[in-house]
Amino acid sequence: MTIRITRRATLLGGAGLAAGALAAPAVAQNTPIRLGGLTTLEGPFATGGQDAYRCVQMELERINHTVGGRRIEFIRESSNAQADVALARARKLVEQDNVDIILGPLSGAEGIALRDYSRTLTGKTIVNGSSGASDTTLRNPSPNFFRFSTDGTQWMAGLGKHVYQTMGIREVAVTAGDYAFPYAQVFGFNLEFCRLGGKVTHYWAPLGTTDFTSQIAQINRSNAGAVVVVHGGTDGLAFMTQYAQAGGNKPLVGGSIMADQTMLSARGPHRRVMVGMISGGPIADVIDDPTWNDFVARYRRRWANEGGFASPSIHAVNYSTNLYGILHALKEVNGDLSDNQAAFQRALAAAEITAPTGASVKLDHNRQAISDIFLNKIEERGNAAQVVAFDRARGINQTLGIPEARFLSLGSPSRDNPGCVATS
Amino acid sequence: MDLAATIVLNGLTLAALYFIVASGFSLIFGLMRVVNMAHGAMYLLAGYVGYSVFEPLYDSDVWYAWYAGLAAGVAFAAVFGAAVQLALLGWMQGQELRQALVTIGLSIIVADQLLASYGGTPRQFFAPDAIFGSTQVPWVGGYPTFRLVQIGIALAVGVGLWLLLNRTKLGMMIRAGVDDRQMLGACGVNVPLVGVAVFALGAALAGLGGIIGATAQPLAMGADGRFLLISLVVVIVGGMGSIIGTALGAVLIGLAEQIGQAMFPTYSVILTFVIMVAVLALRPQGILGRA
């Protein structure tokens, strides 16, 4: 038997092929956008990570998981705040779950690891979760890494000045975790405090330290007029509990993840010493802003009966801010991720959004947020301790207003370069 | 001077906690030759179960809240340990690798179940007022009373274990079992039952450590891995299966950690492992271990 190929059959076949080829992009537009979430559901920041996913879920539910005509499929992954684990999980998201965009990670060193990983990717974008090391976007930035949240250095804007000028304290003890994020926070504090003439003694401890008693003994015997605590998660709780037990009574100044609901909602004697603590950061529990009040009200409605805090945590707000950036850009491009996400990334870089706190956010040339920072004080309101914003600095950039070249020449924040340098 | 005294005291109180946890680990290894990788999970489990009992009582302000939590945590850990030995490890006696893997699997399951039911929020016990405040200690000044109580409890555990092992019939069987299980069985002793008792006791000690530890430091996910690692290091340094060796190992590691924290904080972790490497290089069986 012979197979006869008629002209008609050929034409039909050709038309079929063409139709298939034309239909393909339309199909791609209808497939869901795969958004991979990476946060810490294990380790010292498990509580913050859990809360971050609460808000991401809440905001996705609000738009019915749809943006620019495409469905968003959210895939949750978890690390334990260690850079190597975050990297492995990010690889899993990209290589096995085949996600288009990663929203994460939560912790400083993880952010740097993912920034480096993002550089090896084509057609994928990583948008920060809540990690706040400054070098993630300041030095050697990656074109595929975007951060709509402010970094640890920015969060301290105005704090050093407040401690020196308003509180009149000339010498402080800084106790901080020994990794990228606290370096950035300490750097931001010291830039102002040391420039004004303040004296700083540093006490570093590795992330995961739960017995600070010897460090506290040293601090309590020192001449420091205040203690600047830049720990978070269980480390921060352990420090504060042991500080309270050791009868510590110096005024406290907190890093941004110290004065947070993840800390205030845990029970214990630490709450007593933390009332009155001054801190700086991208959020507070009480901010006089309608956008924020609405966000908090929605959070309470959604999560009050499912383990939510009295008020969203800093990590939840940072993840939400970054999610807003993603959603804004996806809407701009109508969900079009073709051409290696080129249009989407352009839309991300140009995005100007409003964070849940009501702060306006835009990105600089390194794809890093320029936004508002709050000065906060912990107050006893009703029966609960709350972080209350009493001042707000608008449009803080990554170099705290210092010219970028000058700021870069100060060197990368580290335990040996904590920012006690002349900047003029 | 007073700072040095404080740091040494901190090291000793931390060592007390490490000893309580590691003694159970050492005991189980000594008789059963099981490297119980779920020891940290038992610490965590006892902590959370104890907390469930403690919290409502603490809220209603009864004085025995902490003691009730302690009893519940320790009892639960003991039952859990006995169940693990009966249901899982008993029938793979002597297959060390298999037992180690089973206990690792168990610890992962336990940790995830605890995370699912209790969430990630750190918790902490508050000891009764009598042992919660601070006490004047010569050269040191005011010092948290509870940390001194920790030393007392560790001493009681140490002496109790020594008496149990050296002065009771059960202790005699355990010591005989360490040397020759088969011969012990041939003498008419129900070795598997002794095994269950030892496992329950070891787990109860992990549980005791869990409650004490969760009173001194926050209890949260990750504590299981930390205390398992510490138990391993302490027992390797001190010598497997020796109570005095475990105490010595705990003191060395506790002091190293606190002195390291005060003098070179970043590298204090390394100091712990330097001690372990030195011991392994010079005396692989541990300082007081039998070859």
B-chain CB neighbours of A247 within 8 Å are 134, 142
* pTM, rounded to two decimals: 0.80
Highest averaged pLDDT of the listed ranges A213-217, A415-419, B69-73: B69-73
Distance CA A382, CA A312 (A): 18
Low-confidence winner among A50-59, A65-74, A304-313 (lowest mean pLDDT): A304-313
Residue B151 in this model has a pLDDT that exceeds 90: yes
Alpha carbon distance A75, A94 (integer Å)? 11
Contacts of B144 in chain A (CB under 8 A): 213, 242, 245-246
Q: Where do the domains of chain A lie?
A: 30-151+289-372, 154-287+373-409
d(CA A221, CA B5): 13
Q: How confident is the model at residue A3 (pLDDT cuts 50, 70, 90)?
A: low
Task: Report DSSP state, residue B123.
Answer: B
**At residue A132, does pLDDT exceed 50?**
yes
pLDDT of A22 above 70: no
Q: Which of B13, B217, B226 has the CB atom closest to A238's CB atom?
A: B217
pLDDT tens column, A359-407: 999 999 999 999 999 999 999 887 788 999 999 999 999 999 999 999 9
Interface check for B3 against chain A (CB to CB < 8 A): the answer is yes
Cα separation of A384 and B23, whole Å? Answer: 41
Computed over every residue of chain B, the mean pLDDT equals: 89
Residue of B3, B6, B224 to mutate for A, most A C-beta atoms under 10 A: B6
pLDDT band at B134 (very low <50, low <70, confident <90, very high): confident
Answer whether residue A20 shows pLDDT above 50: no
Interchain CB distance below 8 Å, B124 and A49: no
Phi, psi (rounded to 5 degrees) for B252: -60, -50
Residue in B closest to A210 by C-alpha = B217
B205-239 pLDDT per residue, tens? 999 999 999 998 888 888 899 899 999 999 999 98
Are domains A30-151+289-372 and A154-287+373-409 of this chain identical in fold?
A: yes
3-state SS track over chain A: CCCCCCHHHHHHHHHHHHHHHHHHHHHHHHCCEEEEEEEECCHHHHHHHHHHHHHHHHHHHHCCCEECCEEEEEEEEEECCCHHHHHHHHHHHHHCCCCCEEECCCCHHHHHHHHHHHHCCCCCEEECCCCCCCHHHHCCCCCCEEECCCCHHHHCCCHHHHHHHHCCCCEEEEEEECCHHHHHHHHHHHHHHHHCCCEEEEEEECCCCCCCHHHHHHHHHCCCCEEEEECCHHHHHHHHHHHHHCCCCCCEEECCCCCCHHHHCCCCCHHHHHCCCEEEECCCCECCCHHHHHHHHHHHHHHCCCCCCCCCCHHHHHHHHHHHHHHHHHHHCCCCCHHHHHHHHHHHHHCEEECCCCCEEEECCCCEEEEEEEEEEEEEECCEEEEEEEEEEEEECCCCCCCHHHHHHCCCCECCECCCCCCC
Q: Which residues pair with A202 in a beta bridge?
A: A174
Residues 6+ apart with CB under 8 A from A209: A177, A235, A238, B261
The residues in B 158-217 lying below 8 A from A, measured between CB atoms, are 216-217
Question: How far does B262 lie from chain A, in Å, by closest CA?
Answer: 6
Q: Is the pLDDT of residue A125 over 90?
A: yes
Mutate to test the interface with A, among B61, B221, B257, B271 (most CBs of A within 10 A): B221
| B32-48 average pLDDT score | 92
B150 interfacial to chain A (CB closer than 8 Å): no
- What is the distance between the alpha carbons of residues B49 and B76, in angstroms, rounded to a whole number? 7
The CA-atom distances, in angstroms, between B262 and each of A214, A215, A246 are 6, 6, 16
A391 to chain B, closest Cα gap in Å: 30
The residue type of A62 is: R
Residue B193's Cβ-count burial label (10 Å; 0-12, 13-18, 19+) is exposed
Mean pLDDT of B34-39: 92
Cβ distance B265 to A238 less than 8 Å, yes or no, reads no
Q: Rounded to whole angstroms, what are the CA distances from B167 to A215, B160, B242?
A: 42, 10, 16
CA distance A283 to B49: 35
B173/chain A closest Cα distance in angstroms: 39
The whole-angstrom distance between A261's CA and the closest CA on chain B is 11
**Partners of residue A209 in chain B, C-beta under 8 Å:** 261
Query: Is A266 in the B-facing interface, judged by CB distances under 8 Å?
Result: yes
Q: Do B6 and A80 lie within an 8 Å CB cutoff?
A: no
Whether A80 and B119 lie within 8 Å, measured CB to CB: no
Whether the pLDDT of residue A204 is over 60: the answer is: yes
User: In this structure, which amino acid lies at residue A284?
Assistant: A
- Asked if A253 and A278 touch (Cβ cutoff 8 Å), the reply is yes
Task: Quickly tell me which residue has 């690390």 as its tokens.
Answer: A79
Query: CB distance A246–B142 less than 8 Å?
Result: yes
Query: pLDDT-based confidence at B83, cuts 50/70/90?
Result: very high
pLDDT at A24: 45
Which residue does chain B place closest to A50, by CA atoms? B120
Residue of chain B with shortest Cα separation from A233: B122
**Domain A154-287+373-409 homologous superfamily, CATH:** Response regulator (3.40.50.2300)
- The token duo for A45 is 């920041």
Q: Provide the β-strand partners of residue A373.
A: A393
pLDDT of residue B104: 95
- What value does the mean pLDDT take over residues A113-129? 96
What contacts B260, CB < 8 A, 6 or more positions away? B267, B268, B269, B270, B271, B272
Measured between alpha carbons, how far is residue A157 from residues A186, A312, B222 in Å? Answer: 11, 22, 33
pLDDT of residue A1: 47
Select the residue of B144, B218, B221 nearest A246 (Cβ to Cβ). Answer: B144
Alpha-carbon span B104 to B95, nearest angstrom? 14
CB contact under 8 A, B257 and A211: yes
| Beta-bridge partners for A171 | A199
- Contact at CB, A211 and B258, closer than 8 angstroms: yes
Query: How many cross-chain Cβ pairs, A to B, lie less than 8 Å apart?
Result: 113
B56 touches chain A (CB under 8 A): no
Confirm or reject contact between A248 and chain B (CB < 8 A): no
Look up tokens 């680990």; give the residue: B25
Classify A161 in phi/psi space as left (phi over 0), alpha (psi -120 to 50) or beta: alpha
CB contact under 8 A, A234 and B220: yes
Q: Which of B218, B221, B269 sits opposite A210 (nearest CB)?
A: B218
At residue B260, the pLDDT reads 87
Mutation choice for A interface testing from B217, B226, B272 by most A CBs within 10 A = B217
Bond from prior residue into A105 cis (ω within 30 degrees of 0) = yes
Residue A422: pLDDT over 60 = no
Q: How confident is the model at residue A21 (pLDDT cuts 50, 70, 90)?
A: very low
**What percent of chain B has a predicted confidence (pLDDT) above 90?**
54
Q: Which residues contact B154 (CB under 8 A, 6 or more apart)?
A: B15, B16, B17, B19, B20, B247, B250
Mean pLDDT of chain A: 89
Structure confidence at residue B49 (pLDDT):
96
Are the Cβ atoms of A415 and B266 closer than 8 angstroms?
A: yes
* CATH for the stretch A30-151+289-372: 3.40.50.2300
Residue of higher predicted confidence among B145 and A336: A336
- Asked if the model's pLDDT at residue A154 lies above 50, the reply is yes
Kindly tell me if the per-residue pLDDT of A4 is higher than 60: no
Task: State whether residue B145 sits within 8 Å of chain A by CB.
Answer: no
What's the whole-number mean pLDDT along residues A209-227? Answer: 90
**Interface residue B120 vs chain A (CB under 8 A):** yes
Interface of A with B in 175-194 (CB under 8 A): 178
Q: How far apart are CA A67 and CA A63, in angstroms?
A: 7
More reliable by pLDDT, B141 or B5: B5
The residue assigned the tokens 């109790």 is B160
| DSSP secondary structure, B198-260, as one string | HHHHHHHHHHHHHHHHHHHS-B-TTHHHHHHHHHHHHHHHH-TT-HHHHHHHHHHHHHHHHHH
pLDDT at A328: 97
Neighbours of B232 (CB within 10 A): 18
